[in-house]
Amino acid sequence: MSLTAYTSRTLYTPLESLDHAVVLVEDGAVVKLGTRTSVEVASGAEIQDFGDGIIVPGFVDIHIHGSAGYDVMQAADSARGNFEQFLARHGVTAYYPTTIAAPLDVIERALERLADAIEIAGRKDSSHGGAQPLGIHLEGPFLSHACRGAHSPEDLLLPSVEIFDKFWQAARGHIRLITIAPELEGALEVIAEAAKRGVCVSLGHSDADLESTRRGVAAGAEHATHTFNAMRPLRHRDPGIVAEVLTNSSLTGDVIADGVHVDPAVVKLFLNAKGAENAVLITDATSATGMPNGKYLLGTLEVEVKDGTVLRDGKLAGSVLTMDRAFRNAMDFAGWDLQRAVRIATANPARVAGAQNKGMLKPGADADFVVLSASGDVRATVVRGKVVE
C-alpha cells in the first residue's frame, strides 16, 4: 500500500494538541503523527492537505438505531451502505447498531444479520465506504415497565442468563453493550455474566432506587444509557439511579444532546458532573434521521417524525440527531472548547465499548478521522485511510 500524508493546521489526538500536523497513513493504519518539522515525509508519499482544518479522531456512536431511512433491525440490507455513508458525512467512522425490545425470534434474526455485517466490514479486503459497525448494543428486552419509553410492554422480559446466552449465540459473540434495568429480578446474574464475557453493561430504562443501582454497579455495570431519559427522576430525598450516575466516578454515562430529550441546562449539568473523562455523546438516532416529516420504523415499531421530534403514542421514540450536531451542541450548551468536546465523541465512547484501535489518533490505531472547522462543522471524513466521497 502507498503511504499517504494528511496535513492540517491543527490535530487533536484528542488528549494532545499538535499544530501544523502530519498524519502518515499506510494500509489503513496510522504509522506516525507529529508536526511538519518533526515528521519526515518520504518523497513518494501522496500528500493531502486539509489547510486550516482540525483533524480529530472519527466519531464513535455507541447507541444508534438507524438513519437515512434505514433501521438496523430491518431484514432488507440494501440500504445499509447509504446509511453508513450518511453517518460518515456527519463525522461517524464507527458505530454500534442498537436493537430494541421485540419478540425473541425477531431479535435473534436481527442479531444474526448484524453479526454478518460486522464480520464483512471487519475484513482486511473489505471495500467499506462509510462508517464501520464494530459491535452490537442490545437495548432490551431486560427493561423496566415503569421506564420502558417507546418499547412495547409485551416485549419486555425479566432478565435471565439463558435468554442472554441465546442472544450471545445468535450474535456470534459480537454483543459489546447491553442496556438493563438493575432492579429487575435476575438482573444481577445477567450483569455479572455479561461483564464476564467482556460486554459493557449499561444501566438504563430503569426505575431503580439508589441501593438497587449500587448493587448493579457492584455486579459489574460500568455505564448508563441516555442519562435522565427513561430513568427514575432525581429527587432530593429519593436520589435513585440518576444520583449514582452523576456522582460515581467509576461510572461513565451518555446523554442525548439534542435539546429535546434533555434541556440544554441539564446537558450542561451532566457534562460538568461527569467531566471530559467520563461523559459520552450518543444520538439514539432512528431511521427518520435525515428524512422529511412522516412515518418510519424503529425496530418493529412505527414512529412518526415531525419538526425534529420522533414520537410513538405521544412518547419520545429515539431522535433525529446526528453526531456532529450533538458535538456542536455540547460545545454550545456547556461552553466547552472543541478539544474537550472531541473527547466525549471519540475516545470515551470507544473506551466504553472496548474498541482498542478507535477514538484515538496514535501509531497503530486505525486511520479513522474527521476534519473539522473551528466551529465543529465536518469538512471531510477518512475511514481506514480513505476519504469518504
Residue length of the chain: 389
CA distance readout (Å), 129 to 31, 36, 86, 276 = 21, 29, 10, 30
CA distance 133 to 275: 27
Active-site residue, from 71, 155, 254, 284: 284
CB 342 within 8 A of CB 65: no
CB 57 within 8 A of CB 322: no
CA distance 274 to 252: 7
> Which residues share a beta bridge with 319?
285
Q: Is 284 a catalytic residue?
A: yes
Q: Which residue blocks in the chain are alpha helix, DSSP H?
A: 80-89, 104-121, 161-170, 187-196, 210-219, 240-247, 264-278, 323-334, 338-343, 347-353
CA distance readout (Å), 346 to 61, 168, 236, 352, 387 = 8, 26, 33, 10, 18
CA distance 46 to 24: 10
Catalytic site positions: 284
